[in-house]
A and B are shown apart, each in its own frame.
Chain A
Amino acid sequence: MYMEAKNVKFTYMVGSPFEKTALQNINLTLEPNSYTVLIGHTGSGKSTLIQLFNGLLKPTDGSIQIGNREIKRDTKQKHLYDVRKDVGMVFQYPEHQLFHETILKDVAFGPMNFGMSQEEAEKRAKESLKLVGIEEGLYERSPFDLSGGQMRRVAIAGVLASNPKTLILDEPTAGLDPQGKEDIMELFYKWYEVSEERSIILVTHHMEDAAKYGDQLIVLEQGGIHLTGTPKEVFLQGDRLRKTGLSQPETVRLLESLKDKSKGHIDTLKFHLNETVDEIVSFLRKDQ
Chain B
Amino acid sequence: MLDHIIIGQYVPGHSKVHRLDPRAKLICLMLFMVFLFVSRHPLSIGVALLIAVLAFGLANVPLTFYLRGMRFIAIIIIFTFLLHLFMTKEGPVLFTTPIVTIYLGGVLEGVLVGVRLLLLVIMASLLTLTTTPVDLTDGMESLMLPLKKVGMPTHELAFMISIALRFIPTLLEEAMKIIKAQMARGANFTQGSIWKRVKAFVPVLVPLFVQSLNRAEDLAIAMESRGYEGGEGRTKFRILYWKRMDTIALVILTLYSMTAIFTRFLM
Give A residues with C-beta under 8 Å from B.
12-13, 15-17, 51, 54, 56, 77-78, 81, 84-85, 88-89, 91, 94, 96-100, 109-110, 112-114, 144, 158-159, 162
Contacts and interface: CB of A to CB of B under 8 A. Distances in A.
Identify the interface centre among A16, A84, A98: most chain B CB within 10 Å of its CB: A16
A56 B180 contact: yes
A170 to B, nearest CB: 10
A80 to B, nearest CB: 9
Given A13-B3, A17-B11, A56-B180, A97 B68 contact: no
Given A81-B186, A110-B185, A16 B191 contact: no
A101 B64 CA distance: 43
B202 A99 contact: yes
Contacts of A15: 64-65, 68
B185 A17 contact: no
Contacts of B11: 17
Q: Which of B178, B185, B206 has the most CB of A within 10 A?
A: B185
Given A13-B3, A16-B64, A109-B203, A97 B188 contact: no
A75 B210 CA distance: 34
Nearest to B205: A99
Nearest to A81: B188
B210 A144 contact: yes
B57 interface: no
B180 A96 contact: no
A113 B186 contact: yes
B185 A16 contact: no
A162 B64 contact: no
B41 to A, nearest CB: 37
A87 to B, nearest CB: 8
A84 B62 contact: no
A227 B206 CA distance: 41
A77 B68 contact: no
B113 interface: no
B179 to A, nearest CB: 9
B233 to A, nearest CB: 39
Contact of B181 (A78, A85, A94): A94
Nearest to A113: B186
A237 B181 CA distance: 36
Nearest to B9: A18
A119 to B, nearest CB: 18
Interface string B175-195: 001101111111110110000
Contact of A77 (B64, B181, B190, B211): B190
Nearest to A91: B181
B211 A84 contact: no
Contact of B186 (A16, A85, A94): A85
Given A16-B3, A17-B61, A78-B191, 19 more contacts: A12-B3, A13-B3, A15-B64, A15-B65, A17-B65, A81-B186, A84-B183, A91-B181, A96-B177, A96-B181, A97-B178, A97-B207, A98-B207, A100-B203, A109-B186, A113-B185, A113-B188, A162-B185, A162-B186
Nearest to A92: B177
